[in-house]
C-alpha cells in the first residue's frame, strides 16, 4: 500500500458547492476509484486560502495512471471545472506532495 498526497485549489465562493458535489459523488466514480485500488481517500480544505489537500492509499500506484483515460473521470472533471483551478483537459491542477513524516 502506498500513500499519496496532493494539493489543489478551489475557486472563491464555491466552498459549499464543492462539499455538496462530493456528498453526492456518483456511484460509478466511487466504483472506478475502488476498482483502481484506492482506499481511505480524503480531501481537506483550508477555509482561509481555499487550498484543498487530498490524501489516499493505493494498492498499485500504476493503476492511477489509467484514471485520466476513463470516461467517468473525464465527465467528473468537466463537472468540477467551474469551481476549481483546472488544466486544459479539465483535470484539476494537482501538485504532488512529498511525504516527510509518517507516524504509523
Q: How far is CA 39 from the centre of its chain?
A: 12
39 is catalytic: no
Q: Which residue is catalytic, options 22, 31, 34, 63?
A: 22
Q: What are residue 86's DSSP bridge partners?
A: 92
* Plot region of 52 (φ>0 → left; ψ -120 to 50 → alpha; else → beta): beta
Please list the active-site residues.
22
Amino acid at each position: 500500500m502506498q500513500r499519496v498526497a496532493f494539493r489543489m485549489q478551489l475557486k472563491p465562493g464555491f466552498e459549499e458547492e464543492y462539499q455538496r458535489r462530493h456528498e453526492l459523488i456518483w456511484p460509478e466514480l466511487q466504483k472506478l476509484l475502488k476498482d483502481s485500488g484506492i482506499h481511505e481517500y480524503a480531501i481537506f480544505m483550508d477555509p482561509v486560502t481555499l487550498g484543498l489537500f487530498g490524501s489516499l492509499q493505493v494498492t498499485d500506484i500504476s493503476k492511477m495512471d489509467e484514471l485520466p483515460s476513463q470516461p467517468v473521470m473525464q465527465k467528473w472533471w468537466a463537472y468540477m471545472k467551474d469551481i476549481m483551478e483546472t488544466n486544459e483537459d479539465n483535470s484539476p491542477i494537482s501538485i504532488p506532495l512529498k511525504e516527510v513524516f509518517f507516524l504509523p
